[in-house]
Amino acid sequence: MKIFWRGSLVLITAGLLAGANGAEARAKRVGQIPNGGVSGCANCHNSTAGGGPRNTFGQMIETGFLGAAGSAGNVQWGPELAKMDADGDGATNGQELSDPDGLWKSGDADPDDAAVVTLPGDAKSHPPIPVASALEATTWAQVKEAMQELFK
Ligand SMILES: [Ca+2]
């Protein structure tokens, strides 16, 4: 019986440590993108609580913009990642996170107003489409969406 309890204690402790490491990794990465705290875990994960499958922005970071593989890796935010458009909505990752040129560094104050920040991994979330861009839109869906934005 005593051995059983020792084994259980080891398993529970290991589980708690694994959970703590995961939470630390998530919190760490939220602070490694500009305005990361506005949407928290939802910047990179489908679930707003974090964990589970990553959205297109999370996948982009995972495959090309982590300093190291796994939970130890830090997000390499900069001009290259800022100029890409992970969700294909026409707004760059940098425009969505209010750092279009990718000049923000981890530890800096968040750029711009949090109210203008959108999700770089969700095509339904993006900054308002300027009228000039709406006129250049090539699909009816884009024109319709731009018109809906104008007349909200
Ligand atoms: Ca985008």
Cα 122 to averaged position of ligand 1 atoms, centre (Å): 7
Whether residue 121 contacts residue 57, with contact meaning beta carbons closer than 8 Å, is answered with: yes
Task: Please check the confidence at residue 89 and state whether its pLDDT lies above 90.
Answer: yes
- Evaluate whether 51 touches 45 at the Cβ level (below 8 Å): yes
Which run of H or E residues covers position 30?
Answer: helix 2-30
Look at residue 142 in the predicted model and tell me its pLDDT: 80
Alpha-carbon distance of 35 to 145, in angstroms, equals 26
Integer Cα distance of 117 and 110 in angstroms = 11
Distance CA 143, CA 122 (A): 19
DSSP for residue 119: -
How many CB atoms within 10 Å of residue 31?
13
CA–CA separation, 16 and 131 (whole Å): 52
Cα(135) to ligand 1 centroid in Å equals: 19
- Ligand 1 mean position, distance from CA 94 (Å): 8
> What pTM was estimated for this model as a whole?
0.70
Cα of 4 vs centre of ligand 1, distance in Å, is 52
Question: Residue 128: what pLDDT?
Answer: 86
> What mean pLDDT is predicted for residues 97-116?
93
- Report the C-alpha gap between 114 and 87 in whole angstroms: 20
Q: How far is ligand 1, taken at its centre, from the CA of residue 138, in Å?
A: 17
Mean pLDDT of 8-15: 45
Å from CA of 126 to ligand 1 middle: 6
- What's the confidence (pLDDT) of residue 135? 65
In three-state secondary structure terms, 75 is: strand
